[in-house]
Structure 1
Amino acid sequence: MKNPGGRRTARRFAATTGISAVVASTLIAPGTAYADPTKDEVEERIDELNEEASTAVADYNQAKEDHEVAETAYEDIEEQVGDEEERYDELREKVQQLASATYKSGDLDSTANILAADGPESLLDQNADLNYLSDAQKAQLDEFGESSERLFALKDEAEEALDSAEEKLDEAETAKKEVEEKIDEQEDLLAEFPTADPSAESADGSGGQSYTGSASGSTGAALDFAYRQVGLPYIYGGTGPNGYDCSGLVQAAWRAGGVDLPRTTYAQAEVGQRIYDMSALQPGDIMFFYPGLGHNGLYAGNGQMVHAPRTGRNIEVVGLAAYWGSEFQFAVRP
């Protein structure tokens, strides 16, 4: 199994030494000499940026999902409240008709109170004075008032949830912009050190691939789909068909295999049996990487994975022996 502690220590060292020196050299007076970063230091910085970007993409996708759920709940409750308002209008019309009859009979006190009522709560407050109503009519009024109170309370709760989801979505949008800046930094580093991305070792992103492994049935269909996408671009938040992010590819692949998975890496990590030993992996298992579970891909067998890696790269088949093996957390078997 991996030793993430050493990698994390190396990352912090790289972030505060070689890479910081590159940034600092642009701010210090001319004539001050600083060593250029080494390839190892650049690799560590790119490794760090890969993890940060993956986590931000997962957070962004989760915020979008939470926002959509909150919006749907709000719309459902709004519809329920609308139905109750229709019931209230019908009830008020009946009460007004009853009040008119009562007016003709000379019972003015309760009539005036009903017509002056502003809503269900006001009517309920006056319920004890509605002596001329039948028990069935009073029961209907009580039932309506209780239902209205419950639904309006739910509406307030839905509004709060929607407000909270919108705030999280705004935060995710801000984080997305910050990550895009980090991706720009990554691309600048790779322009100087083209082979410095440790996650790209043994990767094959050439298009037109097909799965030739032993998996069949739903698993084979999922891997067939994933392999057909090899060569398409990674798209931040993408769910196809022209490109995918990591969890978008996993979701679409397993959908092709007849299994409905949730959208985000965080939710997908909660589906199915967990496998912590890489030697026990089977084709089709969903592998998760980084402590924050910001990245995932499909195990393809023979020590390989098909996945959507990051912005700037295409969907690819990659070996697990080096970089990805060291970042593996666990897998799930849908």
Structure 2
Amino acid sequence: MKNTGGRRTARRIAASTGIGAVVASSLLLPGTAHADPTREEVEEEIERLNEEASIAVEEYNQAKEDHEVAEARYDELEEQVGDEEEKYEALKERVQKLANATYQSGDMDSLTNILTSDGPEGLLEQNADITYLSETQQAQLDEFGESAERLFSLKDEAEEALKEAEGALEEAEEAKEKVEEKISEQEELLTQFPDADASTEGANDSGGQSYTGGASGSAGAALDFAYAQIGKPYIYGGTGPNGYDCSGLTQAAWRAGGVDLPRTTYSQAEVGNRIYDINALQPGDIMFFSGLGHNGLYAGGGQMVHAPRTGRNIEVVGLAAYWAGQFEFAVRP
């Protein structure tokens, strides 16, 4: 079994952060003469960085999930290695007895070399030349060689998969932290201007609201849960109960509605039927934005409940001011 999730994650990280780093450095490059940025330029840069951050955190979530899968697979393979080692030792003991018996009979030939051969390939090559053994003895030697080969293969597979996932997780965490630093720098610049973040217009993040829309059933339960989280902080990789990231909130909300969603925006985008017309949305639909880097629950009436980004709380926001222009599609679990 090959764990390719880590490799896919690493490729996505390179694609999603490489260009962004160049664009970000072009706005304010130390040692270069530039006119001071306007408020609008700073806000645009923050918004762009927030989109980049959304992608980075989902890459981190995916890498973390891949790593957990690789760890579980590693533990599973370790158990198999232990079982195979026991089998290997038992077979080795039988082969040693066969070698001793052959020695005592004076018919050493190539049998002794079997126990000192370099790995299963050499063993099997020698085995092919031992034509005087009984079928049972030959089968024992074959099984011994095959067990050794399985043992080495299992160890290599477990170590390779876990190492790859660990590397991808480290890359994703570094990318996430770099974007977060850039956002902090730009928000510090924004303090020089009156507050005007286009993405927050119409937002309401007062704590613990109740959903009063018309959705019922699973969608209604999902929105009831999401509204009860309003005011809790956005937390990178958060799955509750003290805070959530965007996909963590949608996952927890729909779990309350009896639907088990996967962890990341990329995976959640593959669940259920897609709706591309924003006017055809129904309450509870999961809306996706910014290259699948962000999602939230449609609440009806042109509003969405979501976990926006670092430094902000879970909120209800109007779509018309900003989010409608970023909408890609929705899914209906």
Please state which band the TM-score falls in when normalised by the shorter chain. 0.7 to 0.9
Asked if 1:315 is matched to 2:314, the reply is yes
1:254 corresponds in structure 2 to 254
Corresponding letter in the other structure for 1:85: E
Closer/same/farther in 2, CA of residues 194 and 225 from structure 1, 3 Å limit: farther
Distance (whole Å) between structure 1 residues aligned to residue 39 and residue 128 of structure 2: 83
Report the Cα distance in structure 2 between the residues aligned to 1:276 and 1:307, rounded to whole angstroms.
19
Residues 77 and 151 of structure 1 are in contact (CA less than 8 Å); yes or no, is this contact kept in structure 2?
A: no
Per-residue CA distance 1:185-219 (angstroms, 9 max, x = gap): 24313423353211111111111211122222222
**Residue 82 of structure 2 aligns to a residue in which SS?**
helix
Equivalent residue number for residue 293 of structure 1: 292
Secondary structure (helix, strand or coil) at the match of 1:109 reads: coil
Partner of 1:5: none
Q: Secondary structure at the match of 1:66?
A: helix
- 1:37 to 1:191, Cα distance in 2 relative to 1, 3 A: same
Q: Structure 1: any 5+ residue segments left out of the alignment?
A: 1-11
Aligned residue for 2:199, secondary structure, equals: helix
Is the CA contact (8 Å cut-off) linking 2:49 and 2:182 kept in structure 1? yes
Q: Which residue of 2 aligns with 1:202?
A: 202
Counterpart CA distance in 1 for 2:263 and 2:298 is: 18
Instruction: State whether residues 287 and 330 of structure 1, in contact with CA within 8 Å, keep that contact through their aligned partners in structure 2.
Output: yes
Distance (whole Å) between structure 2 residues aligned to residue 101 and residue 145 of structure 1: 19
Would the aligned equivalents of 1:54 and 1:295 in 2 still touch at CA under 8 Å?
yes
Q: Deviations over 1:7-50 (max 9, x none)?
A: xxxxx9xx79xx94xx46x8578xx9x4x544333332222122
Match of 1:217 in 2: 217
Q: Do the aligned residues in 1 keep the contact of 2:119 with 2:148 (CA within 8 Å)?
A: no
Query: Could you tell me whether the CA contact under 8 Å between 2:43 and 2:190 is conserved in 1?
Result: no
Alpha-carbon distance between aligned partners in 2 of 1:133 and 1:230, rounded to the nearest angstrom: 76
Q: State which drifts further: 153-162 or 269-278.
A: 153-162
What count of residue pairs does the alignment treat as equivalent?
311
Query: Which residue number corresponds to residue 324 of structure 2?
Result: 325
- 1:248, distance to aligned residue in structure 2 (A): 0.9
Alignment of 1:59-138 (within 5 A): 59-117=59-117, 119-131=119-131, 133-138=133-138
Q: Deviations over 1:53-95 (max 9, x none)?
A: 1111111112212222223223322322332221110001111
Following superposition, the deviation at residue 324 of structure 1 comes to 0.5
Q: Which residue of structure 2 lines up, in the alignment, with residue 175 of structure 1?
A: 175
1:236 aligns with 2:236: yes
Secondary structure at 2:191's aligned position in 1? helix
Deviating 4+ runs (over 6 angstroms): none
Query: Residue 109 of structure 2 aligns to a residue in which SS?
Result: helix
Task: Normalising by structure 1, report the TM-score.
Answer: 0.83
Shift of 1:141: 3.5
Q: What's the offset of the Cα at 1:159?
A: 3.1
Q: Is the 8 A contact 1:307 1:317 kept in 2?
A: yes
Correspondence for 1:55: 55
Distance 1:44 1:28 in 2: 21
| Contact 2:42–2:186 (CA under 8 A) maintained in structure 1 | no
What SS does structure 2 have at the residue aligned with 1:180?
helix
Task: Give the 3 Å change call, closer, same or farther, for CA 254–91 of structure 1 in structure 2.
Answer: same
- 1:129 to partner: Cα distance: 4.3
